[in-house]
Structure 1
Amino acid sequence: MCSKPVIIVGNGGHARVLIEILLMQKKQILGYTAPTEEQNPYHIAYLGTDETILQYEPETIELVNAIGSIFTTKMRANIFTFFKLKGYRFCTIVHPSAIVSNTAVLGEGVQIMAGAIIQPFVRIGDNTIINTSASIDHDCYIGDHCHIAPGCVLSGSVTVGKGTHIGTGTNIIQNIEIGKNVIIGAGSLVLRNIYDDKKVYGSPAKEVSE
């Protein structure tokens, strides 16, 4: 959770969702960074490029990683890693309407959006997005830098490797293991384990070529 003034890294659609949560929670937003100044519907101040953050002492602010993920989480991961190495900390953000078990463990910079459900003994790694109305059932493990897109359903004891993107509306049955850097297309049904660096799509999900 954010306990210091925050800077938003990015200004796209994902940023808008995060800013609304922060405003609902009455957090102090210093501004946003982006390659160029862009319209911000919440009238949040433009501070400059991402390098502007380095003008602030790490102990005085917290960061919000507002870089979204459509097919890859690499850019989000790069932003997170760069600023962590400089000593900065990222806020963990949970929408007030999300249901999160008291036994769930959330890493640094995790973002849980409206209507999401996180059941008992779920573990979520750093810098991972659990997007709108996603449902993560008991004993799941989700690695760092993942994106569980809107409307996904993960049954119990599913494992998701680092850097994996699970597309909107995907359903995954219990006890499935998904590797690192996997891309699962929207609307898929996952019935079998998936190895690292694979792209799968369909119902049932099957590997697809580039």
Structure 2
Amino acid sequence: MNAAPSGPQAFIMLGAGGHAKVLLSLAIACGMQVQGVCDPGLKRSGVVMWRGVRVLGGDDALEQLDCTDVGLINGVGQVVGSSLRQAIYERAVGMGFRFPVLVHPGAIVDASAVLADGVQVMAGVIIQPDVSVGANTIVNTSASVDHDCSVGAHVHIAPGATLCGNVQVADCSFIGAGATVIQGLAIGEYAVVGAGAVMVRNLPARSILLGQAARSRTVSDE
């Protein structure tokens, strides 16, 4: 799979936190031109440059950009209980912007894998044959997604997590750092697999798994 995105050759970063730092490094490794960053916090602070990239303003700066000339990089990380990353993505898509698929050169992605718009694949990731990954999903550093897995949109697979073969992950779920999901299982919408947990049975929507025991609870989607 080619790590370089197609379409616009100039890109704008949305957000300037830790996740954005990693994505900027990924973009540079792919030879991409990141021409600016939009971040409300930087704008309020009067910062004009961020890591060598010009600060364009807050979220309102998108209204001054031509969606046919630039692509966007969603630098807002995925946090349990927050839909901010999803909201930013959907607002920008509604304005006509596109988010490229980003694959770090140090990742291994089988040619048969299908990655939707805005998927971000970090360094050290392995994605095996016939995997599908939905829009705006993060497959974070050194995570592993084995054959025939189906991962929905707006999902975060955290660093070092392992999905064995034929795992079904519904939209907006979160798989914590170092977690392991045994083959053939299903994870429901907005469900959370805690860091280091080993999942050995299906996890219902809006449930959280800590250690070996699943505890039902409401996970906010607001």
Is this a same-fold pair by TM over 0.5? Answer: yes
2:175 matches 1:166: yes
8 A contact 1:32–1:46 mirrored in 2:
yes
After the TM superposition, which of the residue ranges 31-40 and 190-199 deviates more from structure 2? 31-40
Query: For residues 130-186 of structure 1, what are the alpha-carbon distances to aligned partners after superposition, in whole Å with 9 as ceiling and x for unaligned?
Result: 000000000000000000000000000000000001110000000001000112211
After the TM superposition, which of the residue ranges 39-48 and 183-192 deviates more from structure 2? 39-48
**The one of 24, 31, 35 aligned to 1:30:** 35
Relative to the length of structure 1, the TM-score reads 0.95
2:43 matches 1:43: no
Match of 1:4 in 2: 9
1:69 counterpart SS class: coil
CA spacing shift, 1:70–1:176, aligned 2, 3 Å: same
Code of the residue aligned with 2:59 in structure 1: it is: D
1:59 counterpart SS class: coil
2:22 matches 1:17: yes
Percent identity between matched residues is: 39
Match of 1:112 in 2: 121
**The one of 99, 108, 112 aligned to 1:103:** 112
CA spacing shift, 1:73–1:110, aligned 2, 3 Å: farther
The 1-side partners of 2:89 and 2:50 are apart by 25
1:29 counterpart SS class: strand
Query: For residues 39-58 of structure 1, what are the alpha-carbon distances to aligned partners after superposition, in whole Å with 9 as ceiling and x for unaligned?
Result: 76622111100110111111
* 1:60-99 aligned within 5 A: 60-72=69-81, 74-99=83-108
The 2-side partners of 1:168 and 1:156 are apart by 18
8 A contact 1:112–1:131 mirrored in 2:
yes
Code of the residue aligned with 2:71 in structure 1: it is: E
**The one of 127, 135, 138 aligned to 2:147:** 138
8 A contact 1:73–1:145 mirrored in 2:
no
Unaligned runs of 5+ in 2: none
After the TM superposition, which of the residue ranges 177-186 and 35-44 deviates more from structure 2? 35-44
Query: For residues 1-30 of structure 1, what are the alpha-carbon distances to aligned partners after superposition, in whole Å with 9 as ceiling and x for unaligned?
Result: 254210000000000000011112221111
8 A contact 1:92–1:110 mirrored in 2:
yes
CA RMSD of aligned residues (A): 1.5
Number of corresponding residues: 209
The 2-side partners of 1:158 and 1:116 are apart by 17
The 2-side partners of 1:34 and 1:41 are apart by 10
Unaligned runs of 5+ in 1: none
Match of 2:133 in 1: 124
Match of 2:215 in 1: 207
Relative to the length of structure 2, the TM-score reads 0.90
